[in-house]
């Protein structure tokens, strides 16, 4: 069997055959229900948070951080909902629960916290860019951003052997591409993430965004959400860099090398969204403040 085909087979067998990846956190399914049905009662989410003391404590910590807190400290989840707003409480809960779901799995080949920072900021930025441009979005742009690079974690957890090979090849050739990932791991991180999220039963639109976030042109019917996600990914104030053996790895460079996405275009976007990028950097640090405790 060809090397890439063998690697792919192995990845798929591990993804579907082994019971060693986290399942979809209950809170995230509640958040999805809220996104899909605006009539959904926020009190249901409140009850779930209140019945989970570690989650409730983390939500309160974020609600009382400098960015969100008002004059009065949030003492209850009710107060936290007021401080964070409906969208905010959904984002904070999804962040806490998804990161915690993976906390029992060691990171082998890269700094996972740096990836989470990059991802939270991508989600917040995508959401705020959609609002600023008045682009209607069917999906939760925050969740799409939070999950867009989840494939890296899946690869790190179930295929560190193949990922290490790819990183070594990237180090030697001084370049990285999803093409290299496919040649050596049999799959790229975007497709790996999409397949993993399918196993979580996530809505198709979020899976599509994750699956194609490095290859917008491959989709016959371009989705505005996909361009938003791609831009937010490249503008995220936290870059995700893999540094095995001092390789500096910037998936964001892929965006800049795509036809039509010149450095100029990137700089223009950076200028246009400068304020959002600054705010999102602060918000991201606060949204992850519970990680240190
Ligand atoms: Fe990516
Ligand atoms: Fe990314």
The DSSP string of 29-48 is: HHHHHHHH-TTS-HHHHHHH
Indicate which ligand has the atom closest to the C-alpha of 116. 2
* Centroid of ligand 2 to alpha carbon of 189 (angstroms): 10
- Residue 83 contacts by C-beta under 8 Å, 6 or more apart in sequence? 63, 64, 68, 69, 70, 74
Rounded to two decimals, what is the model's pTM? 0.90
Ligand nearest the Cα of residue 209 is: 1
List the chain domain ranges.
Answer: 23-101, 107-292
- Architecture field, domain 107-292: Orthogonal Bundle (1.10)
Q: In the prediction, which pLDDT does 71 show? A: 73
Q: What is the pLDDT of residues 67-112, one digit of tens each?
A: 887 777 899 999 999 999 888 999 999 999 999 999 988 887 878 8
How many angstroms is it from 292 CA to the middle of ligand 1? 25
Q: What is the residue whose two structure tokens read 């860019």?
A: 129
Tell me the DSSP string of 139-180.
Answer: S-HHHHHHHTTHHHHHHHHH-HHHHHHHHHHHHHHT---HHH
Q: What does the pLDDT profile of the chain (293 residues) look like in tens digits?
A: 688 999 999 999 999 986 689 999 999 998 888 877 767 778 888 998 999 999 999 999 999 998 887 777 899 999 999 999 888 999 999 999 999 999 988 887 878 898 999 999 999 999 999 898 888 887 789 999 999 999 999 999 999 889 888 888 877 777 777 888 999 999 999 999 999 999 999 999 999 999 998 887 777 676 788 888 988 988 899 987 653 333 333 334 434 434 445 556 677 788 889 999 999 999 999 999 998 76
């Amino acid at each position: 069997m060809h090397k890439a085909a063998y690697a792919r087979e192995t990845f798929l067998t591990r993804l579907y055959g082994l019971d060693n990846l986290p399942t979809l956190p209950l809170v995230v399914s509640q958040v999805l229900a809220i996104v899909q049905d605006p009539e959904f009662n926020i009190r249901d989410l409140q009850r779930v948070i209140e019945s989970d003391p570690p989650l409730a404590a983390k939500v309160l910590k974020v609600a009382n951080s400098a960015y969100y807190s008002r004059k009065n400290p949030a003492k209850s989840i009710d107060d936290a909902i007021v401080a964070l707003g409906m969208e905010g409480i959904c984002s904070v809960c999804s962040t806490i629960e998804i990161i915690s779901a993976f906390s029992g799995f060691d990171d082998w080949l890269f700094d996972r916290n740096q990836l989470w920072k990059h991802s939270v900021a991508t989600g917040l930025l995508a959401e705020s860019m959609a609002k600023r441009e008045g682009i209607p979005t069917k999906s939760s742009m925050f969740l799409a951003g939070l999950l867009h690079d989840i494939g890296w974690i899946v690869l790190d957890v179930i295929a560190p052997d193949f990922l290490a090979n790819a990183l070594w090849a990237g180090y030697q050739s001084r370049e990285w591409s999803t093409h290299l990932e496919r040649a050596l791991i049999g799959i790229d991180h975007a497709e790996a993430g999409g397949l993993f999220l399918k196993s979580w039963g996530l809505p198709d639109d979020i899976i599509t965004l994750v699956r194609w976030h490095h290859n917008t042109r491959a989709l016959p019917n371009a989705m505005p959400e996909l361009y938003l996600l791609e831009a937010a990914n490249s503008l995220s104030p936290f870059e995700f860099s893999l540094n095995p053996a001092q390789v500096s790895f910037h998936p964001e460079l892929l965006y800049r090398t795509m036809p039509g996405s010149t450095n100029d275009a990137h700089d223009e976007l950076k200028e246009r969204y400068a304020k959002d990028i600054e705010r999102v950097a602060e918000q991201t640090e606060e949204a992850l403040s519970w990680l240190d405790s």
